Amino acid sequence: MNRDGLNAEFYRNYAELTAHGQTAVRRDALSIIRDGIRGAAPDLGTHAIVRRKGDLLQVGEHSFTLSAFDHIYVVGAGKGSFPIAAALEEILGERLTGGVVVVKEGEKRRLGRIEILEAGHPIPNEASVIGAQRILEVAHLASEKDLVFAAVTGGASALVTLPPAGITLADIQATNDLLLKCGGTIRDINTVRKHLCLLKGGRLVAHIQPAQAVTLTLDTSPEGLPWPDLCLADPSTFRDAIDVLKLFDIWDAVSPAIRAYLEEGLCRPEWETVKSLEGFKAALFSVGSPVSACEAAAATARDLGYRPVILASNLEGESIDAGIGLAGIAKEIVRYGRPFERPCALITAGETTVTIQGPHGRGGPNQEVALAFASKLGQRQDVCCVSIDTDGTDGPTQVAGGISDGQTMERAQALGLNVPEHLRRHDCGGALARLGDAIVTGHTGTNVMNLRVIVIGPER
């Protein structure tokens, strides 16, 4: 199948996205992003890490004799957890006892031996609590002669939540909403989440003991702080959680029950998250990462005749600033041929943020990057930006991201769109929908944060 055919399968609105603007670079940019996302497919990564030959199971550098275990379970949560679970079910076959994995609402796919539950994201719901309870039940079933795989990826922090006594789900939901709008990084947000849940902050591994725990995850976070906070020792403290809420001026906005719990946690060391996994029977492996997504995107860019440049695999900051900054680099290339000559493809990954204050429209970080890029780029020949959340959902929307090019501002003006006002009101989703530039993919099966490419075609 040619690239247009593959793109039409991947992007639900591919025909709309390529029916206007600078269509040649649009097609190429969408191809590069598609292959980048597929380069971080967790099922492929799982098959590369976990291999079975008869009674021998090789997991990375670890070797296990399957007959030595009475039971093998799979638990997990996250937007990329289903493909990991599916791969494990295929590899383990009849030796798999069962398990439960919590995925985002709308997944629909099911497995034969592993129970699949759907829950809310980015705001947890009642199903998130039920899912956490079911995971805990399976973890407590495991004994010293059992093996438990934990498939934990980005999104798990919302998809499962087990509030401490005295804190309601409504308290957790309201706090999550405040955190998502405050402009904090995912590290800040999860510092609070981990201290308001009895499963996060490495506690899942603690509950799995004395069984052998093996975590398979997608490495989607800053260096030195891997993502799967259910299965990883947590350096943050109750004091850090309180400081985050005060730093972003939302301490007084959270419920009195949450404030009281966090303050009591200061003098209850037994309530703290797990600080070290030393002495635990535990191992952790990455089955996909932003780096692998960037490298796969670069390979496709090269195949299409562009010089690939991976600028950063962990770009952070405000989404508007990221879009404007990338547009500035693109303009320098177009005007002066520096720091790279065209044709080239600038590739970045990472998680940008949106700080919301007051009334706002709809959108997400990637839609904001794409529209901000267009606002700074202006009219330029054969330049395209695609910014997408690799899981297929950008912020609290069903849109994966956005696309813009050197004709976007001209088209926006013709439609009567005030782009600066849409950016100010964080209504980039509304503007991109009018432009026919909101990207729709549905669930992609992976989650390695955001992926962006700036394609700059050859000089005419």
- Write the pLDDT tens digit of every residue in 167-207: 999 999 999 999 988 988 888 999 999 999 999 999 999 99
* Domain 3-40+290-456 top-level CATH class: alpha beta
- Identify the pLDDT of residue 184: 85
Band of residue 225 on the pLDDT scale cut at 50, 70, 90: low
Percent of the chain scored above 70 by pLDDT? Answer: 98
- Whether 224 shows a pLDDT value over 60: the answer reads no
Tell me the average pLDDT across 219-237.
77
- Whether 50 shows a pLDDT value over 80: the answer reads yes
**Chain mean pLDDT for the chain:** 95
| Contact indicator for 4, 435 with CB cutoff of 8 Å | no
- Whether 145 shows a pLDDT value over 80: the answer reads yes
Q: Whose CA is closest to 224, among 294, 314, 150, 156?
A: 314
- Whether 331 shows a pLDDT value over 90: the answer reads yes
Tell me the average pLDDT across 238-261.
97
pLDDT in tens, 53-77: 999 999 999 999 999 999 999 999 9
| Contact indicator for 366, 350 with CB cutoff of 8 Å | no
Band of residue 223 on the pLDDT scale cut at 50, 70, 90: low
* pTM, entire model: 0.86
The residues of the chain that CATH labels 3.40.1480.10 are 3-40+290-456
- Whether 155 shows a pLDDT value over 90: the answer reads no
Percent of the chain scored above 90 by pLDDT? Answer: 88
- Whether 159 shows a pLDDT value over 90: the answer reads yes
Query: The domain 42-162+197-236+273-286: what is its CATH number?
Result: 3.40.50.10180
What is the length of the chain?
Answer: 460
Range with the poorest average pLDDT among 4-18, 28-42, 116-130, 217-231: 217-231
Q: What span, in angstroms and rounded, lies between the C-alpha atoms of 32 and 429?
A: 22
- Identify the pLDDT of residue 226: 61
The residues of the chain that CATH labels 3.40.50.10180 are 42-162+197-236+273-286
Q: What span, in angstroms and rounded, lies between the C-alpha atoms of 336 and 442?
A: 39
Q: What span, in angstroms and rounded, lies between the C-alpha atoms of 229 and 42?
A: 18
pLDDT in tens, 273-305: 999 999 999 999 999 999 999 999 999 999 999
Spatial CB neighbours of 117, under 8 Å, sequence gap ≥ 6: 100, 101, 102, 103, 127, 130, 131, 134
Tell me the average pLDDT across 32-51.
96
Tell me the average pLDDT across 357-371.
93
pLDDT in tens, 12-23: 999 999 999 999
- For residue 157, CA distances in Å to 99, 186, 193, 231, 391 come to 19, 10, 7, 12, 15
